[in-house]
Amino acid sequence: MAGRQVQLPELMFRAWLLGFDALTVVWLRSVRIGAGGAVAEREARRMVGEKVSAAAEAQWRLASGAFGLAPLSIFSGLMQFYAPRVRSNRRRLTRK
């Protein structure tokens, strides 16, 4: 959130929401992969590719200082980085 300082209670709440979304994605992916077959294989490959790509980009941003230097700034930046990715997967996995 460029231009404004995020307060700790807001960060904690956003972290809780991200954690809940991540837990939902883990559960939905576990069910999909556990079912086996071609869909499961595609989901597993997609999951690994997404994780490797996101981790590499997040590490680059951390190393370059893109999230700032203060601990809360880094925490906020990482949540802003990962939240859209997690939400996108939750939406995709809950569509019928």
Cβ proximity of 53 and 88 under 8 Å: no
pTM for this one? 0.85
> What's the rounded mean pLDDT across residues 41-67?
97
pLDDT per residue as tens digits for the range 8-46: 898 999 999 999 999 999 999 999 999 999 999 999 999
Res. 3: pLDDT tops 80: no
C-alpha Rg value of the chain to the nearest Å: 15
pLDDT of residue 1: 45
DSSP state at residue 68: -
